[in-house]
Copies of this chain bind each other. A is one copy, B any other.
């Protein structure tokens, strides 16, 4: 009895997983290649070869090469923004929120290095394309979250008054996200250590005492 129901259900699930899996699989391949060799330098043939199909067959799944990039970036930036907003919404002090944002950022670099690298490398070139206007939009939304925390902490006396929040934000952002270029998820250094060291430097500086 259970089996009669479970068979089609599992089948349906399997099929849908397969379908969804195929798309995701292709996107994962594309993301990795876009990230490592650059979007423009990655040909659809490269992606097809890596996926074991002909380049033309990609167009059965996606409208264009650009559509693949769009799907990867849109998904990544959307979830990043949501996560940041959730962290900022927690009722805690500015320092705790900033710690949370940093920790989540470095964990994201660990979990989704290709999407992060892609965003780091391509967003400046993409900003001007109308189809990718959301990149600049979400970037601005994210910046606001960080800036608000920095400004609140400055008001509250947690952060130094002689620092301009706009410069501080860029300083933090560049140092944290920049680590995507050298951090290896499979390397000896684990991301929690990185987060810890970064927080020490960011909050306390390099000088002893």
Contacts and interface: CB of A to CB of B under 8 A. Distances in A.
Interface of A: 37-38, 40-41, 95, 98, 121, 124-125, 153, 157-164, 167-168, 170-175, 178-179, 181-182, 189, 194, 197-198, 200-208
When all copies of this chain in the complex are counted, the total is 4
B201 A204 contact: no
Contact of A178 (B164, B178, B197): B178
A203 B198 contact: no
B124 A181 contact: yes
A88 to B, nearest CB: 17
B178 A37 contact: no
Contact of A160 (B95, B168, B198, B207): B207
A173 B182 CA distance: 11
A163 B203 contact: no
Given A121-B121, A171-B175, A181-B174, A201 B163 contact: yes
B37 A38 contact: no
